[in-house]
Structure 1
Amino acid sequence: MSEQSKHFKARAQELVSQMTLEEKALLLSGGSAWTTHKIDRLGIPSIFMTDGPHGLRKALGQNIAESVPATCFPTASALASSWDPELIQQVGAALARESQASDVQILLGPGINMKRSPQGGRNFEYFSEDPVLAGHMAAAYIQGVQSEGVGTSLKHFAVNNQEHERMVSSSNLDERTLREIYLPAFEIAITQAQPWSVMCAYNKVNGVYASENRLLLEDILRKEWGFEGFVVSDWGAVHDRAKGVLAGLNLEMPGSGDVNRKKIIEAVNAGQLPVSRLDEVVASLVAVVLKAVENRRTGAAFDADRHHALARQVAGESIILLKNEGNLLPLDVGGKKKIALIGAFAKEPRYQGAGSSQVNPTRISNAYDELVALLGGSERIGYASGYDTEGVTTSALIEEARHQAVSADVAIVFAGLPDSHESEGFDRASLEMPEGHNRLINAVTQVQPNTVVVLMNGSAITMPWMGRVRAILEGWLTGQAGGGAIADVLTGRVNPSAKLSETFPMRLEDTPTATEFPGLNQQAHYGEGVFIGYRYYDKKAITPLFPFGFGLSYTTFAYSDLTLGASSIKDTESLTVQLKVKNTGKVAGKEVVQLYVREDKPAVSRPEKELKAFAKVALEPGQEKTVSFTLKQRDFAYYNVALHRWTVNPGRFDILVGGSSRNLPLSKQVQVEASEVHVPTLTRDSTVKEFKNHPKGQAFYMRLAKVIMGESYGTPDTVKRTPQEERARKKAEASTLVFVHDMPVYKLIAFSEGKFSEQMLNDILSQVQ
């Protein structure tokens, strides 16, 4: 804990010691929809918190549908596709400056829940399907916001992956899946950046509401990860208020009047809630309130033009070039080719998601106006709307689009998902765009071979027309400056450098949760375990539409000279990985270098490979740079449920490096020695094969095996047989041995009719402990 944190904690404890029971209970519930209570008697002020995460949404009065103007940055699915933590940190700092200008002390974000399924209605608000990428993006965001004296609220803790029945559904999963997939992003963000608060989720986790889940809020969050801030409920996520305080839930939002305040007081008076626990929970909240007030900047302002320019830069870094057949892009700005812009999104873009994160932008740019400006006028540009606000088209709209396309040299179709297709509050019914969008693209390609599709969507979609278009830009929901950023990429002013932060499947049926998403009847069973996203597609050998980490450029890159700091290490040691990447094209560009680790012979079922590190590298034409990574114990470990901790299985590991999860040209092996090898305890329920592989048990293996196999097992065979007879004998012995190996040792007693006795088994067990 920093000296500053110790200072605020000590002050908070002193203030809590002076409070009445009623005052303590008062502080633990919001004073309004967005503020905490104040206690004038003790000089404790109220603080204001409001929605992010990609822009400030401070409501004007009680009308949450109207908010102060603020810069609308790209949503999380776009930001993560930049793979650029330094850029995300700049966004965070800008968001904080706007928060200071609106007297907001805590911004509710970022959201880092895993994209378990591409059908998740709120996926646009989350970073990735991979916890390492999501965790580092979140840490950078938090560091940026908090560097300007504004707090963040990391959300939604935890295992909140569907919108359907989100207030009552239980996310049911095993311990290893929880630890390896759904908690690491939170762990990275908390240990690296220490957000001022964490927002607990609506849902239950294995039957216990997240708002009263002591394992999550106390044992893991505070004791294991060292979280220093306060936990706030998602708005309306409180179930049993006294249980929530016991578990470590500090603040209930929004305010509930005296409803839950009375329950806290009653629980204390009844002896169900210790005063010491109440004091601890109140003090954690007050410490952050004191910190927030001390960091408040009276009269703060922000430069709207500068922030809009940053939003355009970030959007440009987040747009992915998915296809560019024959180098159709970038467009020749100085030429005379005519361009048809087709689709209403060209003039009325979908630039942000729907739900609580909606921002009132300071301005909005669209691709049509921006291209007109870049091309020096509208003479070369035609336009057809193609569809209405819900993506519905008509024969007349189609005919108009075909007319514009056939008379142009290049047609650019803007398509994607309307708000009604993805939003907080409901999950997506399919991965398809509106029928009108697909129909429009098909119609344009019939008359124009040079067709480009620009997508505006918050998460993965299917592309039944992909083979008929020459170029595809994934434009995401790129914020208020997205129109300018799209124009920049289309014309080559910005060389696309983004990569997919989630897998795009060929079809819904290929996804890991296709048969059970969303979970119904208030139960969400995570039967796919650790195999979500690219982990699943790799394990099942399914070819996706576009793999995780994929993205093209207007230049090319070459990888070479992968070297490891050692060929063998102990798991307590770090491993340095170095390689070279070179820009082999004719224009400057940026490459996202991705490092994955694969265990050669895993002790448990593990993904084929997992992302462990990444770096975005800027290169001029012909320039080569050396990229370095450092791998540590956790990068080789799996979560051992028998020991309830991270464990390295000793053996060989592959280090794989390249430009996407399915393009990894460099590889090297390292031998990792485990500093602590767990030896399982042998019991009467242990199988015969467990004795064979046990340091002490192996001495008794032959004796156990011979109970079934016969006394001659393992001795040289002197009986003469024909080749056919010998093959039959070996086959029978192998089959019997498999049966024996999987048998619990206590069953040998019955199979031997008591010749191998209880006493014999107990004697062996006493010698292997």
Structure 2
Amino acid sequence: MTQLSMPPQLTSSAPQSAHRTDHRVLDTDHRALDLEQKARLVSGGDTFRSSGEPAIGMHPVVCSDGPVGVRGERWDEADTALLLPCATALAASWDEELVARMGGLLAAEARRKGVHVVLAPTLNLHRSPLGGRNFECFSEDPLLTARIGAAYVAGVQARGVAATAKHYVANDSETERLTVDARVDERTLREVYLAPFEAAVRAGVWAVMSAYNRVNGTSMVEHPLLAEPLKGEWGFDGLVVSDWGSVHEADGPGAAACDLAMPGPNPAWGAALAAAVRAGRVPADALDDKVERMLRLARRVGAFDPPAAGGRAPVPTDPATRGALRAAAVAGTVLLHNPQRLLPLEESALRRVALIGPNAATARVQGGGSASVFPAAPVSPLAGLRAALDPAVELVHAPGVRTNLRPTPLAAADCVLPDGSAPGVLVRYLAADGSLVHAEARATGRVLEPTGEVDLAPVRTIEVATRFTAPSAGRWRLGVVGLGALRLEADGEVLLEEYVAPLSDDPTYLHVSPSFRQVELELAEGQQVALLARRAVEEPHGRVLVLAADRPEAELEREFAHAVELAAAADVAVVVVGTTDEHESEGFDRAGLRLPGRQDELVAAVAAANPRTVVVVNTGSPVLLPWRERVGAVLTCWFPGQEGGDALAEVLLGRAEPGGRLPTTWPDAEADCPVYGTAPTDGRLEYAEGLHLGHRGWLRTDRSPAYWFGHGLGWGEWRYLALGAPSAPAADGSRTVRVVLRNEGPRRSRETVQLYLSRPGSELERPVRWLAGFGAAEAGPGEQVEVELRLPARALEHWSVAERGWRIEPGTFVLQAGPHCGELPLAAALTVGA
């Protein structure tokens, strides 16, 4: 793969912007359009396409959700994609080169699927550990998010695909996300929440997405922050696209700096925008600027070129691609706890391994919402470990507990088509008169949209039919997911008939995870029953229909005891616990930090039965670990992407070192979190903590978290020896800092060296200390190395509200270096003038 040059670190230098386009060409195109054509050009053509303009040879610009896969224009199991580790896992690598390579893979996926614009990266912060979309964001820290985000942008755009920095700005939680008013003071906005977006602009990002929420009373789709500092001070010459469905009228967003309203057609934009310009409510030059930016983006991504001929290439399955994704998962895996060096496991001593937990046999590889894709072949921990272990080693498995909150879609293993010809379900799309519009066989009971190009305009009813065979006896819980008029039949008998009204107009709720209904049916083991689910289609309510079945409760009780028995008789027990896309998702925040269901109880019981217990935490965000001191080792693999199972096996068996360091602080108790709740009061969410989110907030308390920001163990034992005096400032104001350290462990290892700043006696309110730089060291046993870290000028600066600019407070700063923000053995002074 082509080596990518890294973007410059964020400094206080003059605004700069990459990839400028010849404005004379744009002006020529611009003059060829009349008012209606201009307004149409900056309006969505459909869900994921802008409106093209044949008069100037411009094709629609195609967008797709990210950030860890390119779904394309379809959302269907038949349209698979590469799936990267989640954004938190990528940030846990603290490795910009790796993240840029992942960006390159995403760009190749975008090109394969005919996509011009990837709607990622998400540059919002982990303000609260309850944030439902934290897995889609990089970190709690503005500098780490800025550097990882800039690398992501560089990787995607190096292949001519636009990245989109989102959601601008303060969209850091999901509760009331369409309307919430985030109240943030100016200095905090500049130093914390805007900083990653500024870094993305300095890296040359081609698109920015405005958020749904309000900031200090004004909707972001028409907020002055889109003009200043984004398009003015920072020099952003790209396109501002609205978040989907956030433009409700032409005048405000039209006069402001929103450039493209998505999706379309939108009656509040397009012709309405042209009318607003004609009436003088929207300045003509505001529309012209939007058009110029739309044309500039179209040229950058090749929308003036003829569409590629031929069919789409299949999803890559070559060893190099899968190996890159596996390496990324390993790099983000964080070893949290390993006091007796249980890890890595000694393969030669293994005879029987018990793999326990609800996330062991099912690959829980991503969070929910618009960021999700259908991976072609996700590798579960069970599959990965089975492939890695010597065939002579016995590998036993039991889930122990169940954690699903929503009905489990029927799987092909338990059902056949109504005619018995093949495994799966039959989906039928019917017109108002009952005539068949389209029919197809599907592998599961989850139906989002038909495979292939189908005109859905006449469809008024969707049916899913199958013959289900009960794997065990008991009262099976049968479910239907969908909105509107629902009906469920078993062998012709109506079990459920109800009208399900929508509970929200949130797009994720309507089109991904709408309400469901369940009924119970007593079935004998092996009994087959003909099931039919039907829903009426009402256009605003989406077309989701899911036919589901869940095991009897009594069977789950037996599973718990069986799991503990297997663990007790094994050489080592590996317990894979965590969340799923039902617990962490766009559209809602988490209710708490405890593991769902009886998982904590399961870990405690396994650890009591076998002291050689390794716990793998498979989540996108922090969870409480009340048993962490009672187990032999704890590591988190986050949502690791499609190759997660193979990556986990490599780490457990010591074939690869867990390279991750925490990008966000993990608490020991919910009450200890400096920022916890995400619920607005009367529609307002006060960012009262100001600069002190995450580890900055923890440092102001007398409490310690379970694991500090930056924490992570490996196979080495690092001793920090010396911190050199910072160099004189370079032309951009940055300085060089050198750290000397030695690996005193038994194996070759990689260390993430972190640099923090503090300002004793400051006249300003400041964090106790803040991340100022980081870099990697690598050494064999007994080797000493020197790491050179870059201290950017911005790390010493603060935003002066009174002077409307970046300033340095004269005096002495203290530099500290170490393995994480709670352990910094080295210190040096840095005195600066005004």
- What TM-score, normalized by structure 2, do the two folds share? 0.77
Cα distance in 2, alignment partners of residues 241 and 593 from structure 1: 50
Task: Show the counterpart of 2:217.
Answer: 207
Cα pair distance change 1:100/1:644, threshold 3 Å = same
| Equivalent residue for 1:481, pick from 620, 639, 643 | 643
Cα pair distance change 1:118/1:571, threshold 3 Å = farther
Once the two structures are TM-superposed, the CA of residue 617 in structure 1 deviates from its matched residue by 2.4
Contact kept in structure 2, 1:111 and 1:127, CA below 8 Å: yes
Once the two structures are TM-superposed, the CA of residue 231 in structure 1 deviates from its matched residue by 0.4
| Equivalent residue for 1:221, pick from 212, 218, 230 | 230
Task: Show the counterpart of 1:304.
Answer: 317
Which 10-residue stretch deviates more, 37-46 or 619-628? 619-628
- Opposite residue 317 of structure 2, the aligned amino acid is A
Cα pair distance change 1:572/1:553, threshold 3 Å = closer
Aligned partner of residue 382 in structure 1, secondary structure? strand
Contact kept in structure 1, 2:63 and 2:73, CA below 8 Å: no
Cα distance in 2, alignment partners of residues 442 and 605 from structure 1: 43
| Equivalent residue for 1:505, pick from 661, 664, 667 | 667
Contact kept in structure 1, 2:250 and 2:276, CA below 8 Å: no
Task: Show the counterpart of 1:721.
Answer: none
Cα pair distance change 1:263/1:495, threshold 3 Å = same
Cα distance in 2, alignment partners of residues 577 and 173 from structure 1: 33
Task: Show the counterpart of 2:689.
Answer: 528
Correspondences of 1:359-370 after superposition (within 5 Å):
359-370=373-384
| Equivalent residue for 2:97, pick from 86, 93, 97 | 86
Cα distance in 2, alignment partners of residues 462 and 4 from structure 1: 45
Task: Show the counterpart of 1:457.
Answer: 619
Cα pair distance change 1:140/1:19, threshold 3 Å = same
Cα pair distance change 1:507/1:10, threshold 3 Å = farther
Once the two structures are TM-superposed, the CA of residue 222 in structure 1 deviates from its matched residue by 1.0
Once the two structures are TM-superposed, the CA of residue 632 in structure 1 deviates from its matched residue by 3.7
- Opposite residue 174 of structure 1, the aligned amino acid is D
Query: Are 1:260 and 2:420 counterparts?
Result: no
Cα distance in 2, alignment partners of residues 28 and 294 from structure 1: 14
Task: Show the counterpart of 1:352.
Answer: 366
Indicate the structure with greater helix content. 1
Task: Show the counterpart of 2:657.
Answer: 495
Query: Are 1:420 and 2:582 counterparts?
Result: yes
Task: Show the counterpart of 2:498.
Answer: none
Which 10-residue stretch deviates more, 373-382 or 349-358? 373-382
- Structure 1 segments (4+ residues) deviating >6 Å: 294-297, 568-572
Cα pair distance change 1:570/1:555, threshold 3 Å = closer
Aligned partner of residue 326 in structure 2, secondary structure? helix
Cα pair distance change 1:5/1:390, threshold 3 Å = same
Cα distance in 2, alignment partners of residues 99 and 573 from structure 1: 37
Query: Are 1:6 and 2:21 counterparts?
Result: yes
| Equivalent residue for 1:652, pick from 812, 818, 832 | 812
| Equivalent residue for 2:146, pick from 115, 135, 143 | 135
Aligned partner of residue 208 in structure 2, secondary structure? strand
Cα distance in 2, alignment partners of residues 103 and 488 from structure 1: 35
Task: Show the counterpart of 1:97.
Answer: 108
Cα distance in 2, alignment partners of residues 336 and 44 from structure 1: 62
Correspondences of 1:63-74 after superposition (within 5 Å):
64-66=75-77, 68-74=79-85
- What TM-score, normalized by structure 1, do the two folds share? 0.84
Cα distance in 1, alignment partners of residues 602 and 395 from structure 2: 18
Aligned partner of residue 189 in structure 2, secondary structure? helix
Higher-Rg member (1/2)? 1
Cα pair distance change 1:285/1:120, threshold 3 Å = same
Cα distance in 2, alignment partners of residues 502 and 295 from structure 1: 42
Once the two structures are TM-superposed, the CA of residue 642 in structure 1 deviates from its matched residue by 1.6
Cα distance in 2, alignment partners of residues 602 and 541 from structure 1: 21
Task: Show the counterpart of 1:244.
Answer: 253
Once the two structures are TM-superposed, the CA of residue 624 in structure 1 deviates from its matched residue by 2.6
Task: Show the counterpart of 2:720.
Answer: 559
Query: Are 1:333 and 2:347 counterparts?
Result: yes
Query: Are 1:384 and 2:398 counterparts?
Result: yes
Query: Are 1:171 and 2:171 counterparts?
Result: no
Cα distance in 1, alignment partners of residues 601 and 562 from structure 2: 13
Aligned partner of residue 421 in structure 1, secondary structure? coil
Query: Any idea what the Cα deviations from partners look like across 1:23-43, whole Å, max 9, x if unmatched?
Result: 011011110100011111221
Aligned partner of residue 830 in structure 2, secondary structure? strand
Contact kept in structure 2, 1:569 and 1:672, CA below 8 Å: no
- Opposite residue 449 of structure 1, the aligned amino acid is P
Task: Show the counterpart of 2:708.
Answer: 547
Task: Show the counterpart of 1:600.
Answer: 760
Cα distance in 2, alignment partners of residues 220 and 419 from structure 1: 35
Once the two structures are TM-superposed, the CA of residue 178 in structure 1 deviates from its matched residue by 0.8
Cα distance in 1, alignment partners of residues 151 and 739 from structure 2: 25
Once the two structures are TM-superposed, the CA of residue 411 in structure 1 deviates from its matched residue by 0.8
Aligned partner of residue 528 in structure 1, secondary structure? coil
Aligned partner of residue 657 in structure 1, secondary structure? strand
Aligned partner of residue 143 in structure 1, secondary structure? helix
Cα distance in 2, alignment partners of residues 533 and 4 from structure 1: 35
Aligned partner of residue 346 in structure 1, secondary structure? coil
Once the two structures are TM-superposed, the CA of residue 2 in structure 1 deviates from its matched residue by 7.3
Cα distance in 1, alignment partners of residues 792 and 82 from structure 2: 39
Cα distance in 2, alignment partners of residues 149 and 572 from structure 1: 28
Contact kept in structure 1, 2:17 and 2:204, CA below 8 Å: no
Query: Any idea what the Cα deviations from partners look like across 1:157-202, whole Å, max 9, x if unmatched?
Result: 00001111111111011111111111111111211x2111001100
Cα distance in 2, alignment partners of residues 336 and 177 from structure 1: 53
Indicate the structure with greater strand content. 2
- Opposite residue 290 of structure 1, the aligned amino acid is R
Query: Any idea what the Cα deviations from partners look like across 1:628-674, whole Å, max 9, x if unmatched?
Result: 12324321122222212222111110011111011111110011111
Cα pair distance change 1:572/1:95, threshold 3 Å = closer
The Cα RMSD (Å) is 2.0
Aligned partner of residue 774 in structure 2, secondary structure? strand
Cα distance in 1, alignment partners of residues 41 and 121 from structure 2: 24
Cα pair distance change 1:594/1:71, threshold 3 Å = same
Cα distance in 1, alignment partners of residues 702 and 191 from structure 2: 21
Once the two structures are TM-superposed, the CA of residue 387 in structure 1 deviates from its matched residue by 1.5
Once the two structures are TM-superposed, the CA of residue 58 in structure 1 deviates from its matched residue by 1.2
Cα pair distance change 1:437/1:378, threshold 3 Å = farther
Contact kept in structure 1, 2:403 and 2:596, CA below 8 Å: no
Which 10-residue stretch deviates more, 581-590 or 276-285? 581-590
| Equivalent residue for 1:273, pick from 272, 276, 282 | 282
Once the two structures are TM-superposed, the CA of residue 355 in structure 1 deviates from its matched residue by 0.5
Contact kept in structure 2, 1:212 and 1:240, CA below 8 Å: no
Contact kept in structure 2, 1:569 and 1:673, CA below 8 Å: no
| Equivalent residue for 1:35, pick from 40, 49, 66 | 49
Contact kept in structure 1, 2:69 and 2:82, CA below 8 Å: yes
- Opposite residue 207 of structure 2, the aligned amino acid is S
Aligned partner of residue 582 in structure 2, secondary structure? helix
* Larger RCO (CA under 8 A, 6+ residues apart): 2
Query: Are 1:17 and 2:31 counterparts?
Result: yes
Cα pair distance change 1:378/1:605, threshold 3 Å = farther
Correspondences of 1:419-458 after superposition (within 5 Å):
419-458=581-620
Cα distance in 2, alignment partners of residues 122 and 599 from structure 1: 33
Contact kept in structure 2, 1:11 and 1:287, CA below 8 Å: no
- Opposite residue 655 of structure 1, the aligned amino acid is L
Contact kept in structure 1, 2:164 and 2:209, CA below 8 Å: yes
Once the two structures are TM-superposed, the CA of residue 67 in structure 1 deviates from its matched residue by 6.1
Task: Show the counterpart of 1:235.
Answer: 244
Contact kept in structure 2, 1:451 and 1:470, CA below 8 Å: yes
Aligned partner of residue 647 in structure 1, secondary structure? strand
Cα distance in 1, alignment partners of residues 557 and 686 from structure 2: 44
Aligned partner of residue 302 in structure 2, secondary structure? helix
Once the two structures are TM-superposed, the CA of residue 409 in structure 1 deviates from its matched residue by 1.7
- Opposite residue 613 of structure 1, the aligned amino acid is G
Which 10-residue stretch deviates more, 34-43 or 611-620? 611-620
- Opposite residue 17 of structure 1, the aligned amino acid is R
Which 10-residue stretch deviates more, 376-385 or 276-285? 376-385
Cα distance in 1, alignment partners of residues 17 and 184 from structure 2: 35
Aligned partner of residue 29 in structure 1, secondary structure? coil
Cα distance in 2, alignment partners of residues 513 and 562 from structure 1: 33
Cα distance in 1, alignment partners of residues 325 and 671 from structure 2: 36
Aligned partner of residue 737 in structure 2, secondary structure? strand
Cα distance in 1, alignment partners of residues 557 and 378 from structure 2: 30
| Equivalent residue for 1:293, pick from 302, 313, 320 | 302
